[in-house]
């Protein structure tokens, strides 16, 4: 059995923009924010948003007083907009730009004295908003048969579409209008997102045996996807969550396609895909099932990252011209493994339904993660003690700083200037701390153990500085890429990360600068004849990390497990190259 996930599944541009604007407002200002109608049509996401202080504007709203009110992607009527301003609300307009364009067309055509026919769903919020802009000169047509019921004396007619209308229905309505009224002005205001989502669904429907459409039952575009798939004669199920999947019936099919409406959060889609994949695995051989379990354990249990840092330690020893030793690999393995387990233990939500991908197993076994994290930290301290007094002091000091970082509070007298209560809440701080810890365990501690506090020259110091910079930079980009991938859920869960704070674009520019800087440093140092620089070991992981960051940015890898493996690959490459 194969599971095929549509590339277009999940939030569309307009919904993502509205959700981000709402979350950013709550994040920046604190307190509550109201939305005109539900922000998205998804019960689970709305429950979560409510816990963040984002709620639907009640029928009896509080008096304005600068209370923020967000206009959602569907838009509202101009009268309601004016009334919000008059009542003193702080209005934040998240109307989707495509919907805003349709509103402008309707307003302009009505002002010209033309009648505006809106092809869409009567009563839908977007259609109601468009009718408001027509100022009494608008009518709604849901299907071609409705055209006959229009009054004959309408006069000059302009036609627009509700942005989420299917192309076929819109064209048939336009033909019926032309047949009845002759010359009409047609504005195709359908949005490309809808087009693309439906086109992909049609292609998928021709190739799979069954289709699962994920999304809220109140979402018109999700319902339409399910209708269109069913109309193609493909067995189709519309589910809101993974719990609703009819696994017994789906188990009969060899290939299942999954798509989702424009307001379905990605973690709900991933949960559906995971449940289907689990059903698929049950049919596979024992060897394949064991292989998959092992892969999940490596990725979820952070063992892959820990092994990657051990491999990187081999390359670091080569770069710093010190003989590799088992302890140089064991120390970063144990310390970084402990750090990641303990950080995840402290920051992941306790509710597994809010987590997607293999991380759900982590949440389910969080106590074991705590035990393993503490045990690994003790083992790292023991290894450093065996390496000598200086390594032990450095690792002990790092552990102390790590504890201060995890549990330390920001002094109250600073709070008016700094809005974070704890050190680890400072955006991006986790990424910098992880990168610093990696540089310490992979480069500094082995270097100190091998060279002591004397008996080295500038060449050795330069090779240490270069190795630290490469390890720090690669680990920083890896950590930020992981944050970028879960930006949507971090925003919803209120976690402070660099992409949440600075946004996708600025974070990506920053990471591109880091990678560009590493590239110039590694290549430039060798070209300038700096001793001990081996760009053949350094350049491939930098290029690979840049590629994997790009894949993450473009959301090209849908499988969480595969992406986890890719993310840690750049740390194994220099380890392997150091033997060449
Ligand atoms: S479906 Fe299209 S028009 Fe509607 S909110 Fe999304 S991007 Fe905007």
Give average pLDDT by consecutive 10-residue segment, the chain, 580 residues. Answer: 86 86 79 86 78 81 75 92 89 93 96 94 92 94 91 88 85 92 91 88 93 89 91 94 90 92 85 86 80 82 90 91 92 93 75 61 79 94 95 94 76 57 75 93 94 76 90 95 81 72 88 94 79 74 94 83 89 83
DSSP state of 422: B
Q: How far is the CA of 449 from the centre of ligand 1 (A)?
A: 59
Residue of 104, 121, 164 to test ligand 1 pocket, by largest number of atoms within 8 Å of CB = 164
Distances (CA, A) of 171 to 127, 234, 404: 18, 24, 64
Q: How far is the CA of 60 from the centre of ligand 1 (A)?
A: 29
The closest residue, in CA terms, to atom 6 on ligand 1 is 14
The closest residue, in CA terms, to atom 7 on ligand 1 is 14
**Residue 253 contacts residue 207 (beta carbons within 8 Å):** no
Residue of 15, 37, 118 to test ligand 1 pocket, by largest number of atoms within 8 Å of CB = 15
Q: pLDDT tens digit string along 329-347?
A: 999 999 999 988 887 787 6
Q: Judge if the beta carbon of residue 211 lies within 6 A of ligand 1.
A: no
Residue 382 CB burial class (10 angstroms; 0-12, 13-18, ≥19):
middle
The rounded distance, in Å, linking the Cα atoms of 41 and 215 is 8
DSSP state of 31: S
State the Cα torsion 472-476-479-480 to the nearest 10°. Answer: 180
Q: Judge if the beta carbon of residue 194 lies within 6 A of ligand 1.
A: yes
What pLDDT score was predicted for residue 47? Answer: 81
Q: What would the DSSP string read from start to end of 288-357?
A: HHHHHHHHHHHHHTTHHHHHHHHHHHHHHHHHTT----HHHHHHHHHHHHHHHHHHHHHHS-S-GGG--T
CA max distance for the chain: 98
Residue 559 CB burial class (10 angstroms; 0-12, 13-18, ≥19):
middle
- Ligand 1 atom at minimal distance to the Cα of residue 191: 2
Residue of 8, 101, 160, 191 to test ligand 1 pocket, by largest number of atoms within 8 Å of CB = 191
Q: How far is the CA of 163 from the centre of ligand 1 (A)?
A: 7
Residue keyed to tokens 């660099």: 498
The CB density around residue 255, as the number of other CB atoms within 10 Å, is 13
Q: Judge if the beta carbon of residue 302 lies within 6 A of ligand 1.
A: no
Distances (CA, A) of 516 to 345, 412, 499, 521, 553: 33, 39, 19, 9, 17
Q: How far is the CA of 231 from the centre of ligand 1 (A)?
A: 23
Q: How far is the CA of 50 from the centre of ligand 1 (A)?
A: 23
Q: How far is the CA of 192 from the centre of ligand 1 (A)?
A: 8
Catalytic residue status for 175 = no
- Ligand 1 atom at minimal distance to the Cα of residue 12: 6
State both tokens at 456. 């080295």
Residue of 11, 14, 125 to test ligand 1 pocket, by largest number of atoms within 8 Å of CB = 14
The rounded distance, in Å, linking the Cα atoms of 479 and 437 is 12
Q: Judge if the beta carbon of residue 13 lies within 6 A of ligand 1.
A: yes
- Ligand 1 atom at minimal distance to the Cα of residue 97: 8
- Ligand 1 atom at minimal distance to the Cα of residue 98: 3
Crossing angle of helices 458-485 and 429-439, in 10° steps, is 140
Q: Judge if the beta carbon of residue 163 lies within 6 A of ligand 1.
A: yes
Q: Judge if the beta carbon of residue 130 lies within 6 A of ligand 1.
A: no
**Residue 234 contacts residue 262 (beta carbons within 8 Å):** no
What pLDDT score was predicted for residue 412? Answer: 60
What pLDDT score was predicted for residue 413? Answer: 61
Catalytic residue, chosen from 55, 86, 109, 126, is 126
Q: Judge if the beta carbon of residue 18 lies within 6 A of ligand 1.
A: no
What pLDDT score was predicted for residue 110? Answer: 94
The closest residue, in CA terms, to atom 2 on ligand 1 is 191
What pLDDT score was predicted for residue 462? Answer: 86
Q: pLDDT tens digit string along 114-155?
A: 999 999 999 999 999 999 999 999 999 999 999 998 888 878
Q: Judge if the beta carbon of residue 12 lies within 6 A of ligand 1.
A: yes
Residue keyed to tokens 């790009």: 550
Q: How far is the CA of 198 from the centre of ligand 1 (A)?
A: 13
Q: How far is the CA of 148 from the centre of ligand 1 (A)?
A: 30
- Ligand 1 atom at minimal distance to the Cα of residue 18: 5
**Residue 573 contacts residue 540 (beta carbons within 8 Å):** yes
Distances (CA, A) of 75 to 11, 64, 357, 390: 17, 20, 34, 64
State both tokens at 24. 């950013």
Q: In 143-172, which positions are buried (b, 16+ CB within 10 angstroms) versus exposed (e)? A: ebebbeebeeebeebbbbbbbbbbeebbbb
Distances (CA, A) of 543 to 319, 417, 460, 517, 538: 18, 40, 25, 12, 9
């Amino acid at each position: 059995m194969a599971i095929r996930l549509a590339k277009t599944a999940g939030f569309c541009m307009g919904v993502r923009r509205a959700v981000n604007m709402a979350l950013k407002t709550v994040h920046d200002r604190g307190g509550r924010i109201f939305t005109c109608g539900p922000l998205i049509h998804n019960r689970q996401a709305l429950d979560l948003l409510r816990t963040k202080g984002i709620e639907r504007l009640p029928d009896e709203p509080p008096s304005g007083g600068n209370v923020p009110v967000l206009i959602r992607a569907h838009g509202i009527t101009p009268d309601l907009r004016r009334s919000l301003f008059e009542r003193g609300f702080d209005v934040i307009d998240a109307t989707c730009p495509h919907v805003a364009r349709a509103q402008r067309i309707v307003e302009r055509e009505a002002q010209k004295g033309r009648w505006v026919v809106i092809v869409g769903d009567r009563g839908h919020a977007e259609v109601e908003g468009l009718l408001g802009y027509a100022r009494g000169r608008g009518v709604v047509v849901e299907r071609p048969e409705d055209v006959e019921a229009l009054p004959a004396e309408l006069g000059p007619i302009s036609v627009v579409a509700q942005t989420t209308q299917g192309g076929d229905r819109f064209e048939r309505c336009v033909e019926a209008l032309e047949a009845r009224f002759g010359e009409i002005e047609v504005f195709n205001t359908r949005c490309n997102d809808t087009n693309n989502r439906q086109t992909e669904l049609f292609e998928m429907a021709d190739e799979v045996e069954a289709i699962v459409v994920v999304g809220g039952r109140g979402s018109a575009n999700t319902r339409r996807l399910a209708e269109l798939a069913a109309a193609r004669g493909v067995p189709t199920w519309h589910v809101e969550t993974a719990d609703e999947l009819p696994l017994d019936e789906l188990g009969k099919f060899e290939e299942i396609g999954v798509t989702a409406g424009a307001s379905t959060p990605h973690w709900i889609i991933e949960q559906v895909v995971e449940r289907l994949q689990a059903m698929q695995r049950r049919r596979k051989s024992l060897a394949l099932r064991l292989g998959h379990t092992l892969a999940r354990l490596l990725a979820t249990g952070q063992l892959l990252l820990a092994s990657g840092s051990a491999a990187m330690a081999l390359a670091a020893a080569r770069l710093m011209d010190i003989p590799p030793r088992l302890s140089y690999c064991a120390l970063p393995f144990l310390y970084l493994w402990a750090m990641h387990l303990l950080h995840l233990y402290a920051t992941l939500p306790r509710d597994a339904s809010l987590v997607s991908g293999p991380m759900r197993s982590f949440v389910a076994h969080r106590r074991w993660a705590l035990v393993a994290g503490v045990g690994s930290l003790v083992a790292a301290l023991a290894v450093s003690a065996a390496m000598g007094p200086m390594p032990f002091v450095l690792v002990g000091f790092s552990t102390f700083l790590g504890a201060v970082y995890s549990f330390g509070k920001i002094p109250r007298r600073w709070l008016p200037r700094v809005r974070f209560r704890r050190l680890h809440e400072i955006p991006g701080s986790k990424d910098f701390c992880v990168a610093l810890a990696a540089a310490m365990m992979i480069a500094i501690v082995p270097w100190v153990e091998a060279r002591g506090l004397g008996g080295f020259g500038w060449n050795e110091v330069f090779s240490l500085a270069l190795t630290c910079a490469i390890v720090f930079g690669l680990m920083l980009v890896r950590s930020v890429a992981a944050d970028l991938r879960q930006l949507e859920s971090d925003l919803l869960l209120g976690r402070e990360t660099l992409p949440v704070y600075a946004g996708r674009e600025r974070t990506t520019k920053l990471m591109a600068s880091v990678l560009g800087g590493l590239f110039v440093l590694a290549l430039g140092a060798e070209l300038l004849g700096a001793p001990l620089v081996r760009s053949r070991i350094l350049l491939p992981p930098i290029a690979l990390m840049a590629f994997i960051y790009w894949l993450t940015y473009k959301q090209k890898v849908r499988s969480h497990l595969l992406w986890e493996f890719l993310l840690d690959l750049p740390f194994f490459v220099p380890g392997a190259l150091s033997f060449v």
